[in-house]
Each structure stands twice: as C-alpha cells, then as structure tokens.
Amino acid sequence: MRILDRYITQSIIKTFTITILTFCFLYILIDITSQLDEFIDRKVPVDILIQYYMSYFPIILSQPISSVACLIAVLFTFSSLNTTNEVVAMRSSGLNFWQITKPAVVFGLIISILVFWVNERLVPHATEVTEQIRNENMVLLVDRMRKKKEKFKNLTLYGLNNRLYFIDTFDSEANELKGVTIIEHDSGQNMKQKIVALKGVWTGIAWKFYQCQITTFDQDDITTPLKIKVYKEKLMDIKESPDDFLKQRLNVNSMNIRQLRDYIERFSKSGAQKALNNMQVDLHQKIAYPFGNFVIVLIGLPFALMIRSHKGSTFIAIGMALVLGFLYYVANAVSLAFGKSSLLSPVLSAWMTPILFTLIALVIIETDFAN
C-alpha cells in the first residue's frame, strides 16, 4: 500500500470508528430513555440490560447507521484534505479521481461485505435473542395484553406435520383466521395436500374452517390432483392453537438468505402470490441492501472533493452525509413499496436504487473530474 493510501485509509477508519461508536451510544441512550418507565416498573437488572444491548449491537450495525457513518468518515477525510489543499497537490502530481479516492472506494466495499456478513451470520440469532430477552424481562403485562388483541396481516409460519401456513389476517382477540392457505409436504418435500379456506375460527379445542377446499395430490405427479373435497364447515385436524400462531410466526429479519430462499421454494406452490412476491422482494433486498454502503460512498466522494471552505467543513460534510443518506434510503423505501405492490419486479425493486445512484455518481464524476 502506498504511503498516501495508508494515510487516507487511517483517517477514514479512525473517523468511521468514532462515528459508529457515537451513533451506537446515542441509539442505546435514546432507547433506554424512551423505555425507562418500563425498565423501572419491571425492575430489569443491569446485567440483563447489558446482555440485551450487547445482543442488539449487530442489529444496530445492520441499520443505515453504518452507511451514514461510512459516508461521514469519507466526506470528513476528503473535505479536510481539500481544505488544506492536499487534494490540489495530489491532482498536480498527476493523480486522477480514482487514484485519489481508491482507499475510500475500497473501504466502502469492505464495509458492504462486512454488513452483508453481519446480516447473514449475526443478525438472525441476535433478533431471536433480543426478542426473547425483551419478552421475558422488559414487556409489561398491559403491553402483552394489547399485543394479544392485534390483527396480524400476511401471517406465515411452518407448523407440525410439515405444513406451511399462510394467513391473510389473524385476529388474535377473536381467534379468527381469514384467507387461509395450508400446504402439506411429505418427507421428500413434495406437495401432498393443499387446504384453502375463507375463514377459520378457534372453538377452544380445534379449528373450524368455513368454505373449505381440500385437494390431495398424486405423489408421482403433483400437477394432477387425486381428489378435491369441498366443505361448507369442517373441524380440522390442526394441532396449532392461536398462541402457537403468535409464537411461531416467521420473521424475515430472523432468516438469512439461504433460509428465506428455502422457505420461498416450499411456499412457491401455495398460490398466495402476494405473499410470495413480498418474500421475494425481501430476499433480493437482503442481497442488495449491504451494498448501499458502497453506493453511498461512491456518490458522496465527488461532493467531498468539492468542499473547499476552511470554516465549517466538518459540519458541511456531516450535513451532506445526512442529506445523501436520507435521499438514498427514501428512494430505496419507495422502490421496495413499488415492488411489494407488484408495480416493479422483486429484483428491480431491490436493485433499482443502488443502480440509479451508482449511475448518478459516475455521471457526476465523469462530468466534473474527467481531467
């Protein structure tokens, strides 16, 4: 590594480390302050709080905080170099834009890979651990009762007897299901039976389905139903109770890419196209999201080299980082919303914002730093 690259890299790493630790501290401080009443009422021990926030740390890193911290580090470093005319000296010595900014580009790529690894390896487990700690030690009884009265949309879970459930709406207070689709697989993961019902009501000991259709498939040819039975009302042999539905519902955040892909494959023949589309958007977003760190750094670099003010350059860099980060994640949220509304394909909705901002960055770089 060249002395210049090492000099720039050290500054970026130092600023990034300070920024990310500051953000994490503020995040935890605000979270503790907002829930202080609950912690006091529940008499949560200090060691439980420490365990909770230590487990929560990977989740914090996986959020936009890492992208903004990365962008602030790069903007602060290069704006400082620019205000001391070091960038002018580099350009005068014959270095082009990419040679000057290579340490930042590499750093952004490394952070993207790191965030991808954290999302895949640490976040799923951290989500489960923090949820368990919170439910056992931090959630008040009144909040638990309120949660039991919620209506859940697009509920999915993997139940007993190798059954995959998709429920349009689950009213946890009335113990009522609407828009029920159940796919049962055999030991070889071939579709064995499909159950579709307009509504399901918990009687206290069993589920009663209304306007129910049960289709049994030929194991040698699943495209050919062996028999189809239609019932106006039918008591179902389903072991899961309403409490099981609440406890076992699947959270996309607690899955890695492989688990979510396997789940989508199992669910692909359910006929619930809206749920499948949403899960496919989530799958592609899990792949595209980490590379937002690299894209945000790339689009921030030309602006960093344009900052020439000797006074307030730090505040200018931080302000630009917040604005660029805000614009990126708003555009990404809109794109994902279009994807989940089926206005865009899942792949395009997840990758449109990174690709668009990368193209904008390259156009700005080529326009302003061509020579």
Percent of the residues in the chain that have a pLDDT greater than 90, as a whole number: 16
Residues 99 and 160 in one domain: no
Q: Tell me the two tokens of residue 143.
A: 């909040």
Q: Is residue 144 part of a domain?
A: no
pTM recorded for the entire structure: 0.71
Please give the sequence-ordered ranges of beta strands (E in DSSP) within the chain, or none if there are none. 151-159, 163-171, 176-185, 191-202, 207-217, 225-236
Residues 166 and 67 in one domain: no
Q: Tell me the two tokens of residue 343.
A: 């206005």
Cα of 224 vs its chain's centroid, Å: 38
- Please identify, among 270, 298, 321, the residue that sits at the C-terminal boundary of a domain: 270
Whether residue 114 has pLDDT greater than 60: yes
Residues 204 and 99 in one domain: no
Across 304-330, average pLDDT: 70
Whether residue 140 has pLDDT greater than 60: no
Q: Is residue 330 part of a domain?
A: yes
pLDDT tens for 225-282 read 788 889 999 988 887 888 777 765 656 666 788 878 877 776 666 556 777 788 889 8
**Per-residue pLDDT at 119:** 87
Q: Is residue 114 part of a domain?
A: yes
For the chain, how many structural domains are there in total?
2
Which segment of 119-133, 215-229, 307-321, 341-355 scores lowest on mean pLDDT? 307-321
* CA distance linking residue 216 with residue 296, whole number of Å: 51
Q: Is residue 279 part of a domain?
A: no
Residues 300 and 340 in one domain: yes
**Per-residue pLDDT at 307:** 62
Between residues 151 and 178, the one the model is more confident about: 178
Residues 84 and 112 in one domain: yes
Q: Tell me the two tokens of residue 47.
A: 């060691």
Q: Is residue 135 part of a domain?
A: yes
**Per-residue pLDDT at 6:** 86
Its domain, for residue 288, covers 3-139+284-368
Whether residue 333 has pLDDT greater than 70: yes
**Per-residue pLDDT at 305:** 76
**Are the C-beta atoms of residues 60 and 24 closer than 8 Å to each other?**
yes
Residues 8 and 120 in one domain: yes
Residues 134 and 160 in one domain: no
Residues 253 and 348 in one domain: no
Across 317-330, average pLDDT: 76
| Cα dihedral across residues 318, 324, 326, 328: positive or negative | negative
Q: For the chain, how long is the longest CA-to-CA vector? A: 83
Across 4-9, average pLDDT: 86
